[in-house]
Amino acid sequence: MDKKLTYADSGVDIHQEESTISNLTGGMTYSREGLGAPITSIGHYAGLMDFGDFALAMATDGVGSKVLIANEMKKWDTVGIDCIAMNVNDLIAIGAEPVSFVDYLAIEKHSDEFARQIGEGLAKGAEISRMSIVGGETATLPEIIKGFDLAGTCLGMVDKDAIITGEKVTEGDVLVGVPSSGVHSNGYTLVRKIIGNSDYSYHDPLPYDSSRTIGEELLTPTRIYMEVLDAIHKCEVHGLAHITGSGLLKLRRVSELGFDFTDPIEPPEIFRFLQKKGNVEELEMYRTFNMGMGFLLIVPPHEAKNVAEIVNGKIVGRITEKDIRVKDLIIE
């Protein structure tokens, strides 16, 4: 394959997505005052609202096109974990502790076994997150939905003086990366394009691990980073980032300073397999996938070792003046 495959080629243009978001939110100018007034502007990982001595945090997200692989494999017991993880990790990225969750399941048709497995995953994700599922909505939409879509909204809370938005990040701060469990729940439009154009199917064994199929590996649920809250409570932390869609470009939500990854986490083999089969350039990989680092903490140098131990992560680099770099690669 001579053509270098990109996320945009598969149907997701991250730059056009930014334009859509800008147009969508451009007219959202009204702000409530008093109790419930917004503390942060739209665009961070989670929205914060004033609630007296503390702030309420909200995030909403879904599983995305990973559900299509779940349908192909007829294995739906992990996507509920993904749904909760994508929301909870965004709350953690602003310093908030998850409290409760509501889900939204849109389906083409009913199946008891399918519903049981979806519920099993949601229950497991809520247990890991130490929060309650307090409600939800199931919609049967055969004229709109082909298969199913799963999304949810998470509510969290944080003391006002413990909110972490990145304003304290400074040059010389240390980057502590926390490993991902795999591809998580982002970039699957490109993943499916790669597998669809290859000689493989989701039911084939992994070339590097014949004990698992490609589909099983790709359905590995997103890691939920509750241990990051432990680090926040015990150490000084200046910034947090949940590495999701658009990869390291997400770091611009935290700071406009530079991120120099001199010793990045080694990407799991699934990323190199996808890169090779899709003929995807290294730059495109790092601005599409988490590449083995699902969460990042930005801390002062004296806290780096302790934080790395608490989250079972590693020191991967430092904050610099400009650019996002992975060794000699500039992510832009």
65 shares its domain with 206: no
Domain boundary among 157, 183, 218: 157
CA dist 111 → 56, 116, 147, 179, 230 (Å):
36, 9, 11, 35, 40
Mean pLDDT of 25-46: 75
Which position has the token pair 């989250």? 311
Say yes or no: 55 and 136 in one domain.
yes
136 and 230: one domain?
A: no
pLDDT higher than 80, residue 289: yes
Q: What is the mean pLDDT of residues 134-148?
A: 95
Q: What is the mean pLDDT of residues 191-201?
A: 96
- Top pLDDT among 30 and 128 is at 128
Mean pLDDT of 319-330: 94
> In CATH, what number is assigned to the domain containing residue 118?
3.30.1330.10
- Examine residue 267 and state whether it is found in any structural domain, yes or no: yes
Cβ–Cβ < 8 Å for 217, 35: no
Residues 152 and 101: their CA atoms lie apart, in Å, by 7
- Average pLDDT of the chain, as a whole number: 93
Between 45 and 28, the more confident residue is: 45
Full residue range of the structural domain in which residue 177 is found: 171-328
**pLDDT tens figures, 213-229:** 999 999 999 999 999 99
- By the 8 A CB rule, do 177 and 265 touch? yes
Same domain, 44 and 84: yes
Confidence band of 1 (pLDDT split at 50, 70, 90): very low
Q: Does residue 183 share a domain with residue 111?
A: no
12 located within any domain: no
Domain count for the chain, please give it: 2
Average pLDDT (124-145) is 97
Residue 206 domain-assigned (yes or no): yes
Q: Determine the Cα angle at 45 with ends 44 and 48, to 5°.
A: 75
Shared domain for 79 and 146, answered yes or no, is yes
Is 264 in the same domain as 288? yes
Is residue 7 situated within a structural domain? no
Residue 315 sits in the same domain as residue 268: yes
Q: Is residue 2 scored above 70 in pLDDT? A: no
pTM tops 0.95, yes or no: no
